């Protein structure tokens, strides 16, 4: 079993839709959870950062962490074509980040 | 504030050669991490440097090495290149720890022929 599992998609939604992206993990020691966005031919950009369980909201983005289920989510409200990118979840384990393989999202106008 | 810069942006090498990639972190950032990104394996951690010392290392062979200078700039070296080393190599910096906000550079795309 891989440490971090993420559905690669691709996921295609119409503009204005609510997008739900998810990752599951196996290591209960993970404490820090992040979501990165990566546009084509660019480096990843940090979107959300959460410590331990709970919800965090930033504008149209909401991150949720459920440590009991080892499951994290990123919700994007009112999705825009500019949100089209690959979204990577990441978790801190033993001093380094472990990434999911990323979900490719396409938001159609 | 200038972002993380990486040089060169693109590189073509042949099997058996070696390569050195460079990363300049954001001013004031002391932690520099390196990652390899491939379509098959995704983003994988190579190593992290802090105050000129390797603090953490991922599961890569010894052909992959790195160093950090007193100004926090970092280099990574890959010796005896293999076809499978073709990837996007990303550098990320943070103030002190990987758990903090990491800022990624644009990456160096390496093609091994």
User: Residue written as tokens 């058996």?
Assistant: B16
| Alpha helix ranges (H) inside chain A | none
What tens digit of pLDDT does each residue of A15-71 get?
999 999 999 999 888 889 999 999 998 999 999 988 888 899 999 999 999 999 999
Distance between CA atoms of residues B67 and B48, nearest Å:
9
pLDDT confidence bin for A8, thresholds 50/70/90:
confident
**Of B98, B101, B107, Cβ closest to residue A43:** B107
Is there a contact between A88 and B48 if contact means CB atoms under 8 Å apart?
no
Residue A81 sits at φ, ψ, to 5 deg, of -55, -30
**Top-confidence residue, A8 or B110:** B110
Is there a contact between A32 and B99 if contact means CB atoms under 8 Å apart?
yes
Is there a contact between B42 and A96 if contact means CB atoms under 8 Å apart?
no
Q: What mean pLDDT, rounded, does chain B reach?
A: 94
Comparing A47-51, A75-79, B28-32, the range with the smallest average pLDDT is: A47-51
* A-B contacts (CB, under 8 Å): 52
What is the average pLDDT across B23-35?
Answer: 95
pLDDT of residue A101: 93
Is there a contact between A44 and B99 if contact means CB atoms under 8 Å apart?
no
Residue B44 sits at φ, ψ, to 5 deg, of -125, 135
pLDDT of residue A1: 63
Distance between CA atoms of residues A39 and A57, nearest Å:
22
pLDDT of residue A59: 96
From B40, which residue of chain A is nearest by alpha-carbon distance? A101
Pairing of strands A54-58, A103-108: unpaired
Token pair belonging to B4: 């993380």
Which residues of chain B approach chain A closer than 8 Å at the C-beta?
A: 4, 33, 35, 41-45, 48, 55-56, 58, 90, 92, 98-99, 101-107
């Amino acid at each position: 079993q891989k440490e971090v599992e993420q559905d690669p998609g691709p996921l295609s939604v119409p503009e204005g839709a609510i997008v739900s992206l998810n990752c599951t993990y196996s290591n209960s020691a993970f404490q820090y959870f992040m979501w990165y966005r990566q546009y084509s031919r660019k480096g990843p950009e940090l979107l959300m950062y959460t410590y331990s369980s709970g919800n965090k909201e930033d504008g149209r983005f909401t991150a949720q962490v459920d440590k009991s289920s080892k499951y994290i989510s990123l919700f994007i409200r009112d999705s825009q074509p500019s949100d089209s990118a690959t979204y990577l979840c990441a978790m801190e384990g033993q001093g380094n980040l472990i990434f999911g393989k990323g979900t490719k999202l396409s938001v159609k106008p | 504030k200038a972002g993380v810069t990486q040089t060169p942006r693109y590189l073509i090498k042949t099997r058996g050669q070696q390569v050195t990639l460079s990363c300049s972190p954001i001013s004031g950032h002391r932690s520099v991490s390196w990652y390899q990104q491939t379509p098959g394996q995704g983003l994988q951690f190579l190593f992290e440097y802090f105050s000129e010392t390797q603090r953490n290392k991922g599961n890569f062979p010894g052909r992959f090495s790195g160093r950090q200078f007193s100004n926090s700039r970092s280099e990574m070296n890959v010796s005896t290149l293999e076809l499978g080393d073709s990837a996007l190599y990303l550098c990320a910096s943070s103030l002190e720890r990987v758990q903090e906000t990491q800022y990624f550079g644009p990456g160096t795309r390496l093609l091994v022929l």
